[in-house]
A and B are shown apart, each in its own frame.
Chain A
Amino acid sequence: MTDHKNHQIPTAKPSSIKTRFAIKFLRAMNKLNNKNKNNKNTMSEKHKRFLAIRAAAHASMASAVGPRRAWSRAVLRKIPNQQKQLHYSLMNKQRTRRRNIRRNRILLITRGNPNRENYDHEENEDEDEEEEDLRELVPGGKEMDFCRLLNETAHYIKCLRTQVQVMTNILHHSSPSNILYK
């Protein structure tokens, strides 16, 4: 799998996360625009559009990454699209179950309960709070141990960055025809 490239290099490989996300997101935007042909432009309509676009961004990012990452799996699980869920579950059911069993066993042996009490309160309280915050931020972070959480955070940060880049470029491409710029 080709990861997203360093953003200083202007060329992208044809199958990178960036292009995959861009294609999916653009298709989603097309669908949205085609559906909303009647241009009401009221506040509620705008808000709905905004929510739909944001959801489309998250989902297309997750599906561009694929079910290979825990955070993308968590996002994909939330999509109320049954076909996708079925496909994903059929592919990965056995593999993830075995992996989870193994992981839980390792967790129990090496660290005990992942949510165990820490006797050294002073040192660990701050870190635990921040760990909790991080777990809330990263999708699917509540069920991982800390090492895995850091991995997922790193990948999630990379993907968020590509998302921002692609969306700004879309905006830039569409903006010359926009009234607001004049």
Chain B
Amino acid sequence: MLRLHQSSPSTSSSSSSSEKNLMEQKQSSALLHHRRLYQEQTNSWHNQDTRHVDLLSAVDLSHHFPYHSIPKPEWQCNSSSLINREKRKAQFDMEENSENIVEAEEEKSEITAKTEMETSGNTCSKESSKVSEVQKPDYIHVRARRGQATDSHSLAERARREKISKKMKCLQDLVPGCNKVTGKAGMLDEIINYVQSLQKQVEFLSMKLATVNPRLDFNVDDIFAKEIPAYISSLQAAQFEATCLHYNTMQQGTSNCGGDISLDQSQMLPHNKAENALLDPSFISQLQQLSGWESDWPSLFNAGFH
């Protein structure tokens, strides 16, 4: 995934691809071989190198600006020519802005690199114009957004977060009553409640089937299979309402079902209540022991399943 993000918009020459390979190698062994990093940084500047250097500086010294904390080894290693130094200085100024962003992000989460979109958004507002120029030098072919760091860890994190938010939106469509709640935690709560109520519904229905059909024969499988989808929406809504009354799990669900329920419900509910009354004393105690899907698989199961 790292490679995808870094190489897809690129028109990579051989040198840049070799640099990318260098970058990836460094990530895997960065903290252990920081000496090598110092030397390699002189040859080519990347945001990742400075990020690793940031980590070291943060760990070793304090939360200084990175280049301030590591002037000596860099200039010492770079004893070769003045040209390099001038180039480095020019790049130094340009890099300052992006480094601020990187460091701000790094300060929040040192090792786990769970950077927040908001910090990048805040820094984006400060230094938007400058950063947009800096973010796209010639040999870093990373499609980064304005004001956001381009090191691969935060890229990966950002991609992962986007994936998760996309899927949360899909789940939002599935779960009724999720439109009011926003944010990850509330959504997860709703989803968990919904799954639990669905599972309890299944158990309730199987319990009903157990008591209600001791003698019936379902010989005509195919006819059933075709007729079944025809009796769907009103029954489901009515049953759902019944189970909500019975279990009191989905408080929001009842308010949703109240809008959906058709006229059949008024006839269905008294029947359900009658059945519930009959079933209650016998099975309530057993129901309370029920948990999710992992509750016991009895040996009787072999009898039921082929």
Task: Establish whether residues B175 and A79, one from each chain, have CB atoms under 8 Å apart when the complex forms.
Answer: no
Chain B: CB-nearest residue to A177:
B216
Task: Establish whether residues A11 and B167, one from each chain, have CB atoms under 8 Å apart when the complex forms.
Answer: no
Partner pick for A26 among B108, B174, B224, B292, CB 8 A cutoff? B224
Chain A 144-174 interface 0/1 with B at a Cβ cutoff of 8 Å (1 = within): 0011001101101110110111111111111
Task: Establish whether residues B217 and A33, one from each chain, have CB atoms under 8 Å apart when the complex forms.
Answer: yes
Task: Establish whether residues A35 and B303, one from each chain, have CB atoms under 8 Å apart when the complex forms.
Answer: yes
List chain A residues, Cβ under 8 A from B9.
Answer: none
Task: Establish whether residues B112 and A168, one from each chain, have CB atoms under 8 Å apart when the complex forms.
Answer: no
Chain A 13-54 interface 0/1 with B at a Cβ cutoff of 8 Å (1 = within): 000001100110011111111011001010100111111111
List chain A residues, Cβ under 8 A from B208.
Answer: 171
Is B17 positioned at the interface, with any CB of A under 8 Å from its CB? no
Taking the closest CB of chain A, its distance from the CB of B173, in whole angstroms, is 9
Task: Establish whether residues A55 and B305, one from each chain, have CB atoms under 8 Å apart when the complex forms.
Answer: yes
Chain B: CB-nearest residue to A180:
B275
Task: Establish whether residues B198 and A36, one from each chain, have CB atoms under 8 Å apart when the complex forms.
Answer: no
List chain B residues, Cβ under 8 A from A106.
Answer: 1
Partner pick for A33 among B163, B206, B216, B225, CB 8 A cutoff? B216
Task: Establish whether residues A167 and B195, one from each chain, have CB atoms under 8 Å apart when the complex forms.
Answer: no
Task: Establish whether residues A134 and B192, one from each chain, have CB atoms under 8 Å apart when the complex forms.
Answer: yes
Chain A 48-79 interface 0/1 with B at a Cβ cutoff of 8 Å (1 = within): 11111111111110000000000000010011
Centre residue among A7, A109, A177 by max chain B CB count within 10 A? A109
List chain A residues, Cβ under 8 A from B164.
Answer: 146-147, 150
Task: Establish whether residues A53 and B209, one from each chain, have CB atoms under 8 Å apart when the complex forms.
Answer: yes
Looking at chain A's contact residues, the main secondary structure is helix
Number of interface residues of B (CB under 8 A): 85
Task: Establish whether residues A55 and B301, one from each chain, have CB atoms under 8 Å apart when the complex forms.
Answer: yes
Taking the closest CB of chain B, its distance from the CB of A108, in whole angstroms, is 10
Which residues of B in the span 190-225 have a Cβ within 8 Å of any Cβ on A?
191-192, 194-196, 198-199, 201-203, 205-219, 221-222, 224-225
Partner pick for B236 among A136, A165, A181, CB 8 A cutoff? A165
Chain B: CB-nearest residue to A62:
B293
Is B266 positioned at the interface, with any CB of A under 8 Å from its CB? no
Q: CA of A35 to CA of B223 in the docked complex: distance in angstroms?
A: 23
Task: Establish whether residues A19 and B213, one from each chain, have CB atoms under 8 Å apart when the complex forms.
Answer: no
Task: Establish whether residues B305 and A111, one from each chain, have CB atoms under 8 Å apart when the complex forms.
Answer: no
Partner pick for A157 among B2, B195, B213, B232, CB 8 A cutoff? B195
Partner pick for A178 among B167, B210, B212, B232, CB 8 A cutoff? B212
Task: Establish whether residues B112 and A175, one from each chain, have CB atoms under 8 Å apart when the complex forms.
Answer: no
Task: Establish whether residues A78 and B297, one from each chain, have CB atoms under 8 Å apart when the complex forms.
Answer: yes
Task: Establish whether residues B216 and A51, one from each chain, have CB atoms under 8 Å apart when the complex forms.
Answer: no
List chain A residues, Cβ under 8 A from B192.
Answer: 130, 133-134, 137
Is A2 positioned at the interface, with any CB of B under 8 Å from its CB? no
Task: Establish whether residues B210 and A110, one from each chain, have CB atoms under 8 Å apart when the complex forms.
Answer: no
Is A118 positioned at the interface, with any CB of B under 8 Å from its CB? yes
Q: CA of A75 to CA of B2 in the docked complex: distance in angstroms?
A: 34
List chain A residues, Cβ under 8 A from B286.
Answer: 47, 50
6 nearest interchain CB pairs? A50-B210, A12-B229, A130-B188, A150-B167, A160-B198, A56-B304
Can you list 22 contacts pairing A with B, beta carbon distance less than 8 Å? A5-B229, A11-B229, A12-B226, A19-B225, A22-B228, A29-B213, A48-B298, A50-B210, A53-B209, A53-B304, A55-B298, A55-B300, A79-B297, A79-B305, A80-B299, A146-B164, A147-B164, A164-B198, A169-B231, A170-B209, A178-B213, A180-B275
Residue ranges of B at the interface with A (Cβ–Cβ < 8 Å):
1-2, 108-112, 114, 156-157, 160, 163-164, 167-168, 170-171, 174-175, 184-185, 188-189, 191-192, 194-196, 198-199, 201-203, 205-219, 221-222, 224-233, 235-236, 239-240, 271, 274-275, 278, 282-283, 286, 292-294, 296-306
Known A59-B301, A157-B175; further 13 A-B contacts with Cβ < 8 A: A26-B221, A39-B214, A47-B286, A75-B293, A79-B297, A110-B157, A118-B112, A134-B195, A137-B196, A146-B164, A147-B163, A157-B174, A169-B228
